Structure formats: structure tokens, C-alpha cells
Copies of this chain bind each other. A is one copy, B any other.
Amino acid sequence: MKRTVFFVSDGTGITAQTLGHSLMTQFDTIDFEQHMYPYVDTLEKADKLLATINACAAQEQSPPLVFSTLVNHDIFQRLQQAQALCLDFFQTFIGPLEQALQQPSSHSIGRSHNPSQKQYASRIDAINYTLKTDDGVHTKEYDEAEVILIGVSRSGKTPTCLYLAMQYGIKAANYPITEEDLGKKQLPECLLKHCGKLFGLTIDLERLQAIRHERRPGSRYASLLQCEQELQMVERLFGHYDIPFLNTTTYSIEEIATKLMLKLGIQRRLL
């Protein structure tokens, strides 16, 4: 079964897409064909889109779905005329919220992703820090880190760090625990000084082997034995130093980041 979905916003459409997506995942037998319409901020654009939606409705057996966040009430009303199920997140909740807060909302468009200069700078700072300290480089800068991810090569450290920096402005470094470190059965000096900031990532053997094989087919690095030894030793190391850790095998980057922040008590900041 196929259904056409329109994400519509007078801003970037990211909020509409996020919520729409989270609702759509509850209907996994349906094949959703998705169309993005950001910056629908004039009645002219709304009329054009209305025609597109109605043309789609006429062509298909079932009415399309419209997930929208429209701050402008006139544009919202125009789109409500579409032959579609229109769910607008903004218009649904802004009324009860105005009542609870006892004041009218500002109705200004494009606020969701419009941070202050200071917030913007701290986000860019975090991204730069994370890039600079990626993969065990510049360990002298660990004083500045809010968290240092450790684990064997290809356990998901870099994407998680970048996500933390990008979404929450968190300075996240990462250090790959090498065979040499594992041989010594102790944490390298540069990490020992920052034990409280460490967070370990581990991963199922089969998955690690598959990822490494993809990268360097047939190498010792990708061999089952090598992967197994590294994983065993790194988990022993986590245990020895009482480092909180997570098996990332079945989790998305978002889930890893959320679980990490929860375990370490790092507050999510809004950017």
C-alpha cells in the first residue's frame, strides 16, 4: 500500500518532518512517498502547493497526508482546503499553549532554527573541537572535553561525537583503543587523567567483523579472531576502570547519544 506525504512549513520543515516521520514509523506496512515543501511563506506559494496536493489526490485512490508546521494562520487555512488529511502541529498546540502561558504567541516565522549568535558560536566551537580531537588526536586538549568516547576501531565513536557537537554543542573527543593499549592492559596516560569523562562503546562481534571487512576485506584487522580479542580486552578494560559503556549494535546515533547523556548526566542543550 502506497500513500503520498507532503511535509509543509513556512520555515525549514525540519520539525514537520521529524514529527511526521515519527508517526509514519508506526505504520510499517505502508510505503510512504515523501515530498518536502519548506519555506511556503506566501499565499501564492500555498495556492501552488494546494493545486499540487489536489492533483495528487485526484490521481491516487487514497487522499494524501499533509504534515505541516505553519505559523501563519492564513496560509494554514488555505492548505486546510486540500483534499488531504492535514495535520498541523503548530496550529494544534499553539492555542492551548497561549492559554496556559496567558499570552499571545509572537507568530514569527522561522524561529525554530534561529539561534542567538552566542549559541551559534558555541555550536561551531564544539564541532571544531570534535573534528580536531577526532580519532585520538590532540589529547592535550582533553581538559576542554565534556566527554571522551573510547572503544575499538569502528565501534561508532566518530559519528556519535559529531552528533553530540552538532545537535547539542557538546565538546566530545574520541580515542580509539589500539592493540598496543590493550596489550598493556591499562588505559593510556592521557585518558587516566580524565577517567570521569570517559564513556565506552562496544559492539557485537559479528557486526564489528562485517564493518571492518567492508573497509579492509580479508585483512587481519577484519579477522574474526582479531575482532574477538579486541572486544574482549576492551570490555575487560571498561570493567577494570568502572567506565560506563554501551553496546551500540542495535542503536542509531541518536539513541547512542541519548543513552550516553543520560548515563553521564550531561544536559541536552537546545541549539
Instruction: Please give the residue numbers on chain A whose beta carbons come within 8 Å of chain B beta carbons, in ascending order.
Output: 3, 11-15, 17-19, 21-23, 25-30, 34, 36, 38-39, 63, 65, 69, 71, 85, 87, 89-90, 92-94, 96-97, 100-101, 103, 105-108, 110-115, 120, 123-124, 127, 131, 134, 158-159, 162-163, 166, 252-255, 258-259, 262, 267-268, 270
Contacts and interface: CB of A to CB of B under 8 A. Distances in A.
A21 B63 contact: no
Contact of A12 (B25, B89, B255): B255
A11 B251 CA distance: 12
Contacts of A131: 131, 134, 158
Nearest to A105: B26
Contacts of A124: 159
A223 to B, nearest CB: 21
Given A114-B25, A268-B36, A100 B166 contact: no
A19 B112 CA distance: 9
Contact of A258 (B13, B18, B28, B258): B13
Nearest to A32: B270
7 contacts: A26-B94, A39-B262, A85-B96, A113-B255, A120-B252, A123-B253, A162-B166
Nearest to A21: B270
A193 B34 CA distance: 32
Nearest to A37: B262
Contacts of A36: 267-268
B28 A22 contact: no
